[in-house]
């Protein structure tokens, strides 16, 4: 019998964690001479209060859904993929190649092509660390971290030496042609007559992210491969005894993970910037780790955690804009949320479990 | 229209103009490096602050933390009625091109890049000219005949610095060696003093006895290590001579602060168009003060001032890396 009901596990714990994080953030804001209630109001208004606010929140959330799923898939095979950042950068290269080299007639075809290229580039970038782990036992955490730096260096080289239009100061590709521009929320909802802020960056990629959530759920819990991945993650020796090839699972899980991270670039490179710039992933690969941990590696949890982080990003930006709170302070607030919801999760869980057990005893 | 409606309209119109007049403060937006990056963002802040101290005015400011916030930040300031809005960094060009036409009555200034719009002032600096001058000084001060350059990231802007520097060195000593290194490939390359220090040691072991840092906050480590190892260094952007008196040969000054100050001072009457800040109008130059006076001989000063005059008059042309993306004096 479970120590506590399922609803407490799924709803109550995150809510308590968020409440504690809000208290901590409030204390920090008070200590620096700001009004925490006003700050909370600005964050909620700026992160969820208007269609433009939602447009930004969901744009960031789309990035975090892809990277969060990437990390989650790898964790199911007990692989800690810290390389989502680099895989997303390489995915961006794939998107840029697809958009600039192929004359697409329509965005709907372009987005499919870009997905394939982004997934291919991101997945291939994850193959080397995966193979080294599977065959040589080189720890995946170390190799994927190092591959982040190699990806940044490769992107720098490609942008400065190969992909940058001549005579331009900025290390960035040319803007993608009109036919590859993804429809924004304003375009999509406009069809149904629903008004939406036209300058918000959320775009068609959000729908792809939701589809990716469903597909990952199907993969992990409804396919033979997903079963093998989970079996391998639970017990390597047990899986081997059952005839599951460790090398195969490590490589396949990492390729799927890298492909998902790479596909993030369909959102930020193709949907928003419409060109490839240096450091295009901007740390979303690392946020993906927090998102996966907070979402407990379940696509639904990843989705909710990603929206929360998107809200923190957008609300935090509004905080520093409206109240002139320094950017670093916003990072402190975001870090507190990660600390309470991710790292201190067990603290709350333990206390809550004891409380439920005590309540049950008292009733019995 | 009834009297009441007329009255309401008039009040509303009054309130609108009053609000606009109130918020006509200028604004500055910092690039991803952040406000205190010991480089051009900090210089922009310095210029804005100088304006505020002198006039008692106030200004809006914002530090972006993501590329997607660029357009958002410009729009928010424009909608609040800030005028002019100044932004430093080449990455602003694309978002500004989109936004500028939506706010034809707001004036914008962009530093380090050109945006062709009727309400935008584009300010570019001739970094290669200033770097040429400090390169000449480096070659004259060097005893080993080997000098170093430490850049932040391997991007065209930094190559422009390096190329001007190498030309200045070769103009004095044609057989001199210029060692060039870049710090990194991620944004942390602009703020990594430890790595700057390691690169300096590596260049010293190759014989360099003057190093020029064009790497933002990383340069602090370069200047520190150069001082510790008793060789000379050259600062960048602001006058950094005071950091290690008697050890910093000079600083290549790129007066981003002046550009921001000028824009703020002219307010909404700011002239738009293309604006080149070179040696001739004090946009770039070398720093001479009490901290490095003992290091700069009369002969050195005469040679550099002569070159500066020739560059100003157009008699001497320093090759700009950006003109054809090649450098005659250095390979990348």
Enumerate the residues of chain B whose CB falls inside 8 A of the CB of residue A197: none
H or E segment to which residue A103 belongs: none
Determine whether the interchain pair B90/A170 forms a contact, defined as Cβ–Cβ distance below 8 Å: yes
The alpha-carbon gap from A167 to the nearest alpha carbon of chain B, in Å, equals: 6
Please judge whether B91 and A277 are an interchain contact, meaning their C-beta atoms are less than 8 angstroms apart.
yes
pLDDT confidence band for A331 (50 / 70 / 90): confident
pLDDT of residue B203: 97
Q: Across the interface, which of A160, A268, A277 has its CB nearest the CB of B154?
A: A160
pLDDT in tens, A19-47: 899 899 999 999 988 899 999 999 999 99
Q: How far is B90 from chain A (nearest CA, A)?
A: 6
Rounded Cα distance, B319 and A88, in Å: 38
Q: Domains of chain B: which residue ranges? A: 14-126+260-266, 128-253+285-324
> Which residues on adjacent β-strands are paired with residue B109?
B86, B121
Distance from CA of A164 to the nearest CA of B (A): 10
**Cβ-based neighbour number of residue A207 at 10 Å:** 14
Supply the Cα-derived Rg of chain B in whole angstroms. Answer: 22
Give the pLDDT mean for A113-125. 97
B4, B10, B62, B92, B159 from B108: Cα distances, Å? 40, 31, 15, 11, 27
Integer CA distances (angstroms), A142 to A86, A229, A246, in order: 13, 21, 19
Give, for A318, the enclosing helix (H) or strand (E).
Answer: helix A299-322
Q: Which residues of B touch A156 (CB under 8 A)?
A: 153-155, 185
Pairing mode, strands B146-153 and B177-184: parallel
**CA closest to A160 among chain B residues:** B155
pLDDT digits (tens, 9 = 90+) for B80-112: 899 999 998 889 998 999 899 999 999 999 999
Alpha-carbon dihedral sign for residues B243, B246, B248, B252: positive
The residue behind tokens 């390359």 is: B189
Kindly report the CA angle at B320 between B318 and B322, in degrees rounded to 5? 180
Q: Can you tell me the distance from the alpha carbon of A137 to that of A129, in angstroms, rounded to the nearest whole number?
A: 10
| Interface contact B185-A156, CB threshold 8 A | yes
pLDDT at residue A323, as a whole number: 85
- From first CA to last CA, the distance across chain B in angstroms is 73
pLDDT grade for A2, boundaries at 50, 70 and 90: low
At residue A64, the pLDDT reads 97
Q: What is the pLDDT, as a whole number, of residue A352?
A: 86
Which pairs count as long-range contacts for B95-98, CB under 8 Å and 24+ apart, including other chains? B95/B70, B95/B71, B96/B120, B98/B71
> CATH number of the domain at B128-253+285-324, out of 3.40.50.970, 3.10.180.10, 3.40.50.2300, 3.40.50.150?
3.40.50.2300
Residue A180 DSSP class: G
Exposed / middle / buried, residue B229 (Cβ in 10 Å: 0-12, 13-18, 19+): middle
In this chain, the answer to whether the domains covering B14-126+260-266 and B128-253+285-324 adopt an identical fold is yes
The residue assigned the tokens 């080294």 is A132
Superfamily covering domain B14-126+260-266:
Response regulator (3.40.50.2300)
- Reported as a single tens digit per residue, the pLDDT across A297-312 is 999 999 999 999 999 9
Question: How high does pLDDT run on average in chain A?
Answer: 92
Q: What is the pLDDT along chain B (332 residues), one digit of tens a residue?
A: 444 444 444 444 444 433 343 457 999 999 888 888 777 888 999 999 999 999 999 999 999 888 888 998 999 899 989 999 999 888 999 899 989 999 999 999 999 999 999 999 999 999 999 999 999 999 999 999 999 999 999 999 999 999 999 999 999 999 999 999 999 998 889 889 999 999 999 999 999 999 999 998 899 999 999 999 999 999 999 899 999 999 999 999 999 999 999 999 999 889 999 999 999 988 999 999 999 999 999 999 999 999 999 999 999 999 999 999 999 999 98
The SS3 assignment for B85 reads: strand
Q: Residue A97: in which H helix or E strand, if any?
A: helix A84-101
Distance separating alpha carbons of residues B98 and B84, to the nearest angstrom: 17
Picking from B213, B146, B188, the residue whose alpha carbon sits closest to that of residue B37 is B188
Contact A327 B34 (CB under 8 A): yes
The kind and range of the H/E element at B171 are helix B156-172
- Name the one residue in this structure whose structure tokens are 């308590």: A16
Q: How many CB pairs under 8 A join A and B?
A: 81
Task: Please state the separation of Cα A87 from the chain's center in Å.
Answer: 12
Q: Which residues on B lie below 8 Å from A275 (Cβ)?
A: 94
Angle between helices B127-141 and B156-172 (to 10 degrees): 40
| DSSP H helices in B173-268 | 193-205, 218-228, 256-266
Give the gap in angstroms from C-alpha A47 to the nearest C-alpha of chain B: 13
Interface touch A317/B72, C-beta < 8 Å? yes
Cβ–Cβ gap B153/A327 under 8 Å: no
Residue A246: which of A108, A133, A352 has the closest Cα? A133
Residue of chain A with shortest Cα separation from B157: A169
Tens digit of each residue's pLDDT (9 = 90 or more) over A212-253? 999 999 999 999 999 999 999 999 999 999 999 999 999 999
- For β-strands B273-277 and B284-286, DSSP reports them as unpaired
Q: What Å distances lie between residue A254 and A72, A152, A222, A282, CA to CA?
A: 11, 19, 19, 21
State residue A10's pLDDT score: 74
Nearest to A168 by CA among A276, A312, A281: A276
Q: CA neighbours within 13 Å on the CB side: how many for A89? A: 27
End-to-end CA distance of chain A: 15
User: Cα dist. B160→A295, B112, B181, B203, B310 in Å?
Assistant: 47, 12, 14, 20, 20
pTM across the whole model: 0.89
A102, A217, A342 from A303: Cα distances, Å: 32, 12, 15
Q: Do residue B66 and residue A275 have CB atoms under 8 angstroms apart?
A: no
Strands B232-237 and B210-214: parallel
What lies within 8 Å, CB to CB, of B223 at 6+ separation is B213, B233, B235, B240, B243, B244, B247, B248
Burial class (CB within 10 angstroms; exposed 0-12, middle 13-18, buried 19+) of A339:
middle
- List strands edge to edge, sheet with B27-30: B60-63, B27-30, B85-88, B108-111, B120-125, B273-277
Cα–Cα separations (whole angstroms), residue A176 to A97, A116, A126, A162, B218: 10, 17, 26, 16, 34
What ranges do the domains of chain A cover?
60-311
């Amino acid at each position: 019998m479970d120590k506590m009901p399922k609803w407490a596990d799924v709803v109550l714990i995150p809510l308590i964690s968020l409440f504690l994080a809000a208290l901590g953030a409030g204390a920090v804001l008070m200590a620096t001479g700001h009004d925490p209630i006003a700050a909370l109001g600005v964050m909620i208004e700026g992160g969820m209060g208007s269609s433009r606010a939602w447009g930004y929140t969901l744009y960031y959330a789309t990035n975090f859904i892809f990277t969060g799923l990437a990390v989650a898939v790898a964790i199911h095979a007990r692989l800690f993929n810290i390389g989502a950042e680099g895989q997303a950068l390489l995915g961006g290269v794939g998107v840029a190649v697809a958009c600039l080299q192929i004359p697409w007639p329509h965005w709907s075809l372009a987005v499919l092509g870009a997905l394939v290229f982004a997934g291919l580039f991101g997945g291939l970038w994850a193959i080397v660390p995966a193979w080294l782990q599977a065959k040589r036992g080189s720890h995946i955490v170390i190799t994927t971290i190092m591959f982040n730096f190699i990806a940044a260096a490769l992107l720098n080289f490609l942008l400065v030496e190969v992909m940058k239009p001549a005579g331009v100061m900025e290390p960035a590709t040319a803007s993608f042609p009109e036919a590859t521009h993804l429809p924004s929320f304003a375009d999509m909802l406009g069809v149904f007559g629903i008004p939406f802020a036209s300058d918000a960056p959320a775009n068609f990629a959000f729908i792809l992210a939701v589809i990716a959530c469903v597909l990952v759920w199907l993969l992990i819990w409804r396919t033979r491969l997903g079963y093998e991945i989970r079996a391998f993650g639970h017990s390597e020796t047990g899986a081997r005894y059952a005839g599951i090839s460790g090398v195969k699972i490590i490589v396949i899980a990492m390729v799927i993970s890298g492909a998902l991270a790479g596909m993030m670039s369909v959102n930020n490179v193709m949907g928003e910037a419409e060109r490839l710039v240096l450091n295009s992933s901007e740390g979303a690969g690392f946020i993906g780790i927090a998102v996966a941990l907070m979402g407990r590696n379940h696509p639904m949890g990843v989705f909710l955690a990603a929206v929360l982080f998107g809200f923190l990003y957008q609300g935090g930006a509004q905080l520093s804009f409206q109240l002139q709170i320094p950017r670093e302070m916003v990072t402190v607030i975001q870090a507190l949320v990660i600390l309470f919801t991710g790292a201190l999760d067990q603290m709350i869980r333990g206390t809550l479990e004891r409380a439920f057990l005590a309540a049950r005893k008292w009733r019995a | 229209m009834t009297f009441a409606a007329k009255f309401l309209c008039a009040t509303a119109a009054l309130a609108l103009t009053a609000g606009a007049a109130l918020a006509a403060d200028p604004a500055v937006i910092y690039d991803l490096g952040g406000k205190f990056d010991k480089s051009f963002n900090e210089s922009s802040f310095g210029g804005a602050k100088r304006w505020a101290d002198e006039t008692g005015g106030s200004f809006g400011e914002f530090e972006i933390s993501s590329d997607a916030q660029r357009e958002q930040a410009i729009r928010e300031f424009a909608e609040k009625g800030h005028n002019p809005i100044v932004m430093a960094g080449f990455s602003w060009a694309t978002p500004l091109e989109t936004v500028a036409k939506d706010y034809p009555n707001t004036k914008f200034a962009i530093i380090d890049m050109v945006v062709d719009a009727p309400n935008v002032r584009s300010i570019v600096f001739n970094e290669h000219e200033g770097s040429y001058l400090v390169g000449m000084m480096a070659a004259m001060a060097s005893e080993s005949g080997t000098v170093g350059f430490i850049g932040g990231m391997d991007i065209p802007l930094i190559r422009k610095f390096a190329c001007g520097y190498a030309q200045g060195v070769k103009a004095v000593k044609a057989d001199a060696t210029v060692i060039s290194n870049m710090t990194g490939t991620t944004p942390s390359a602009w703020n990594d003093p430890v790595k700057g220090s390691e690169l300096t040691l590596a260049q010293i072991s190759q014989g360099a006895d003057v190093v020029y840092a064009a790497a933002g906050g990383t340069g602090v480590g370069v200047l520190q290590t150069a001082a510790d190892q008793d060789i000379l260094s050259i600062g960048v952007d602001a006058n950094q001579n005071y950091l290690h008196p008697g050890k910093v040969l000079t600083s290549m000054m790129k007066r981003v602060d002046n550009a921001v100050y000028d824009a703020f001072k002219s307010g909404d009457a700011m002239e738009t168009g293309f604006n080149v800040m070179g040696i001739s109008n004090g946009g770039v130059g070398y720093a001479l003060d009490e901290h490095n006076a003992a290091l700069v001989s009369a002969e050195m000063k005469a040679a550099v001032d002569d070159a500066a005059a020739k560059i100003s008059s157009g008699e001497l042309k320093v090759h700009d890396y950006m003109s054809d993306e090649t450098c005659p004096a250095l390979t990348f």
